[in-house]
Amino acid sequence: MRIPLIVGNWKLFKTLSEATGLINELKPLIGEIRDVEIVVAPVFTAISSVSAAAAGSPIRVAAQDCYWEPEGAFTGEVSPQLLKDAGCSHVIIGHSERRQYFAETDATVNRKTQAAVAAGLTVLMCVGETLVQREADATFTVLEAQVRGGLEGISDDLLRHIVIAYEPVWAIGTGKTATVEQAQEVHAFIRNLLARLYSQSEADTTRIVYGGSVKPENVAGLMSQPDIDGALVGGASLKADSFAKIVGFHV
């Protein structure tokens, strides 16, 4: 019912030739896999080259952020419409690095999400607690506020174009993955919250993916959990062999 989704977040890495080179290495490695949705998120400047390199393969392309206006005097910003024009089908919004370093808030996440889904992109909306928040037993309060804030005013119809990415901030780039039990507990909580905010059937069809030090060695355990529908992968998505192993977690 929920197609597994594996997303490689390349962050601020890779030149044009490195980015297209990685796609060319990936294509034969993931050749036979058709039952997993595969997405990579290069930097803005590589989006159209990566889209061209991925054409004819199952690999789809995401941006790592977007603005909410379609056009105008907004120096430095990129709109969802232009992302589509460049070949994106997906966009990551509200990554914890954007919340931490670029003043992203639940309100801006919400505006960006509304604009991106309206433009026809699938949004990966990121939520996650910091270590301090987890240790203060605030995990569920923080996540509830982030999910509610990010989805404010989003209808059932638009929710179908949104994937929630749970990324505990303390697990990102630290090599410290959440245990499968910790991740499953949060995913079940988020699904439950979606059922309260929308309906059980919307909650059952919305994908919730995990991110934070996902590697070939731990992906199968995470994916075996009933409420974990995929992975948002940073470091391990930068090399073709490790990303292909993650995409092929079930083969």
Taking the complex as a whole, how short is the minimal distance between the CB of residue 180 and ligand PGA, in angstroms? Answer: 16
Nearer to ligand PGA, 172 or 186 (CB): 172
Residue of 37, 104, 129, 167 marked catalytic: 167
152 classed as catalytic: no
Which residue is at the shortest CB distance from ligand PGA?
Answer: 234
Identity (one letter) of the amino acid at 49? Answer: S
Q: H-helix or E-strand containing 186?
A: helix 180-197
Buried b / exposed e along 154-185 (16+ C-beta atoms within 10 A): beeebbebbbbbbbbbbbbeeeebbebeebbe
Cβ 95 to ligand PGA shortest distance, Å: 6
The string of DSSP letters for 80-130 reads HHHHHHHT-SEEEE--HHHHHHS---HHHHHHHHHHHHHTTPEEEEEE---
Q: Which residue of the set 90, 95, 129, 187 is catalytic? A: 95
Residue 187 bears catalytic tag: no
Measured CA to CA in angstroms, residue 62 lies from 40, 49, 198, 202, 220 at distances of: 6, 13, 26, 23, 23
Residue 179 beta carbon to ligand PGA: minimum distance, rounded to whole angstroms: 15
Binding site for ligand PGA (CB under 6 A): 9, 167, 172-173, 211-214, 232-236
If the CB atoms of residues 166 and 203 are measured against ligand PGA, the closer one turns out to be 166
Nearer to ligand PGA, 10 or 189 (CB): 10
- Judged by phi (left if over 0) then psi (alpha if -120 to 50, else beta), residue 170 lies in alpha
Minimum distance from CB of 96 to ligand PGA (Å)? 7
Q: Which is nearer to ligand PGA, 203 or 246 (CB)?
A: 246
Neighbours of 127 (CB within 10 A): 25
Catalytic site positions: 95, 167
